[in-house]
Chain A
Amino acid sequence: MSPEPAGIVVVGASLAGLRGAEALRRGGYAGPLTLVGAEPHRPYDRPPLSKHVLAGALEAGATRLPELAALGAVWRLGHAAIALDRVARAIRLADGTTLAYDKLLVTTGAEARPWPAETGGGLSGIHTLRGRDDAASLRSALVAGPRRVLIVGGGLIGCEAASCLRDLGLSVTLVDPNPTPLAKSLGTHVGAVIAACLRESGAAFRPGTSVQTFEGDDAGRVVRARLADGSAIETDLVIAALGATRATGWLAGAGLMADAGGVTCDAACRARAADGTACPDIYVAGDVARWPIRLYGGRLVSVEHWGNAVEQAAHAARNMLAGPDDQRAYEHLPAFWSNQFGINIKLVGLTAGAESVAVVQGSRASRRFLAVYGRAGRSIAALSFDEARWLPAYTEAILSGGAFPPITDATDQPRIETASPGFPPPRAGAPAARRPEVAHV
């Protein structure tokens, strides 16, 4: 081992890794700092990939993130971390090199769930959309003029892609097992609005069924999807928008509580060893972290949100520089946004477990509204369709455990009607570890 201090190594050079590194420098850390990234790119912003990059308004390479502090870092890009040795305090990279660390920040994020190989996943023309290279490759395929695009999965990515592709004038079919898009994250009561947008845009929406297998031609190109309802869809370009699994494969054998649902950490963002103890030298942040959320009873969640990557990375960095008696708990209210079909969608809070939803401003029919989700008489989440300026007021109510339904005086509804949110039941055969409790993609 070198006599020099090994310093801090950040594994994962995306938004959380970058913001974590910046926070370390801003917090006064002056020692060696190394950022390890599996991709050859400097940190870039993902949200535009499924919107402006697909639409052709931005090149994939234009999404590189601003670096907001002088990092003085060593960048090890293009070589993924493949193993962690906690005893030796070292990680191994795909190029065979070993990097020692004094403290480690794990920000490896998540990976698009691929279409399974046994049902056609190896065919060309089947895309996933997670990284910058995925977006560039998919954009090239769109420019080539596919005859019929099939999108599998009506989550945020699937819906954003459908919206972009219809704007491009492409023929689009979206298949989702639930009655409406966005059913898992927002419920079918609200999802029905997006189902209407999807159909109005000219896309074919096929709810309540799923693709069983893809078939290819002699050249190995996808030509057809066979559906569970017995029908078939001819297609020459597929977007598999099936959600993401946490990038924890490299931690197998490291003795941490890590699986495809994330790396479990304590409230201070310290990774938990397999025996449950918190590792004082390994911190976790962003999509890959599975952390206890105090606002929702301390249950473990992992949230694939831009805002969590930024805030949790900064919080983990703060604790990395603090002493063992000054480890502060991470307090965060999850939030995300999406743009699709000309609508700005914003959510604050977690909808999971909501028993009711109430539209408190505007209406679903106008596609401009604010809805509040409730559980056990409390407001737990608020959703805006093009009414973002109302959100801060409801954010306060969620943070303080405000009543549900919200008080009538604060709304424009003469009488607040509540409805079932319409969350689909968990699908049979979905192992819990592969189905994180919260997975907004």
Chain B
Amino acid sequence: MKPIGGPGALRVVVDLNRCQGYAQCCYAAPDAFVLRGHEILFYDPTPPAGQRGAIERAVQACPVRAIRLQAGADDGDAP
């Protein structure tokens, strides 16, 4: 099992209602997005900070704009 994140880990979520399996994210960020079977998208919700450029390219490449990324720190006071 992959360890969670690491320092400065990113957070990713994909709207799988919108996703139509174009797999552009899999080309842009192959370490974070994988297509299984015909069209099941498996993705890493906490990719390491070093993948930020690739994930941002995946966000832009998605034809249905289904990928959301948080790259900055959280705010709020707890926990």
Contact A388–B13 (Cβ < 8 Å): no
What separation, in Å, do the CA atoms of A343 and B74 have in the docked complex?
A: 35
A5: CB under 8 A from chain B? no
Residue contact B76 to A73, C-beta cutoff 8 Å: yes
**Closest A-B pairs by Cβ, 7 of them:** A66-B70, A66-B11, A342-B37, A386-B38, A307-B17, A344-B39, A335-B17
Encoded as 1 (CB less than 8 Å from any A CB) or 0, chain B from 5 to 49 comes to 100000111011101110000000000000011111010111000
User: Is B5 a contact partner of A62 (Cβ separation < 8 A)?
Assistant: yes
Please state if A58 and B45 are interface contacts (CB–CB under 8 Å): yes
Q: A59-B1, A77-B79 are in contact. Are A306 and B38 (CB under 8 A)?
A: no
Residues of A within 8 A of B68 (CB): 66, 68
In the bound complex, do residue A61 and residue B40 qualify as a contact, i.e. CB atoms below 8 Å apart? no
Give the residues in chain A near B12, CB-CB below 8 Å: 66
B61 contacts A by Cβ under 8 Å? no
What is the interface of chain B, defined by CB distance below 8 A to chain A? 1-5, 11-13, 15-17, 19-21, 36-40, 42, 44-46, 68-70, 74-79
The secondary-structure label for the interface of chain A is mixed
CA distance A397 to B24 in the complex (A): 27
A: residues with CB less than 8 A from B are: 40, 42, 45, 47-48, 52, 56-59, 61-68, 70-75, 77, 306-307, 310, 335-337, 339, 342-344, 346, 368, 386, 388-389, 391-392
Q: List 16 A-B contacts (CB under 8 A).
A: A40-B79, A56-B1, A57-B42, A62-B44, A64-B46, A66-B70, A72-B75, A307-B15, A335-B17, A342-B37, A342-B40, A343-B38, A344-B37, A344-B40, A388-B20, A391-B20
Q: Are B45 and A62 in contact (CB under 8 A)?
A: yes
In the complex the two chains form, is B39's CB within 8 Å of A75's CB? no
A residues near B1, Cβ cutoff 8 Å: 56-59
- Determine if A388 and B37 form an interchain contact, defined as CB atoms under 8 angstroms apart: no
Report chain B residues within 8 Å CB of A306: 15-17
- The smallest C-beta distance from B77 to any residue of chain A, in angstroms, reads 6
Contact B39 A386, beta carbon cutoff 8 Å: yes
Question: In the complex, what residues of B have CB within 8 A of residue A63's CB?
Answer: 45
Q: Which residues of B contact A67 (CB under 8 A)?
A: 11, 70, 74-75
CB within 8 Å for A388 and B19 given contacts A65-B11, A66-B13, A70-B75: yes
**Cross-chain contact of A388 among B3, B15, B39, B76 (Cβ < 8 A):** B39
Q: How far is the CB of B48 from chain A (nearest CB, A)?
A: 12
Interchain CB contact under 8 A, B11 and A72: no
CB nearest to B18 among chain A residues: A307
Please give 5 more A-B residue pairs, beta carbons under 8 A apart, in addition to A47-B16, A62-B2, A344-B38. Answer: A45-B45, A62-B4, A64-B45, A306-B16, A307-B15
Are the C-beta atoms of A389 and B21 separated by less than 8 Å?
A: yes
Which chain A residue shows the least CB distance to B64?
Answer: A392
Roughly how many angstroms separate A64 CA and B75 CA in the complex, as a whole number? 14
Q: Is the CB of B36 within 8 A of A337?
A: no
Q: Is the CB of A71 within 8 A of B76?
A: yes
CB-nearest residue of chain A relative to B39? A344
Given A66-B12, A74-B76, A344-B38 in contact, is the A336-B45 Cβ separation under 8 Å?
Answer: no
Closest to B11 in A: A66
**Distance in Å: Cβ of A58 to nearest Cβ of chain B:** 7
- Bound-state CA distance A310–B3 (Å) is 28
Central interface residue in B5, B36, B40, B68, by most chain A CB within 10 Å: B40
Cα(A70)–Cα(B21), bound, Å: 30
Q: How far is the CB of A149 from chain B (nearest CB, A)?
A: 20
* Beta-carbon nearest neighbor of B19 in chain A: A388
A52: contacting residue among B4, B42, B77, B79, CB under 8 A? B42
Would A72 and B76 count as touching, CB distance under 8 A?
yes
In the bound assembly, the distance between CA atoms of A354 and B37 in angstroms comes to: 30
Q: Nearest Cβ in chain B — how far from A53, in angstroms?
A: 9
Compute how far the CA of A62 lies from the CA of B11 in the bound complex, rounded to whole angstroms: 9
Distance from A31 Cβ to chain B, minimum over Cβ atoms (Å): 15
Given A64-B45, A65-B13, check contact A389 B70 (CB 8 Å).
no
Q: Please give the distance in Å from B73's CB to the nearest CB on chain A.
A: 10
**Cα distance A74–B75 in the bound complex, in angstroms:** 9
Find the A residue at minimum CB distance from B74.
A67
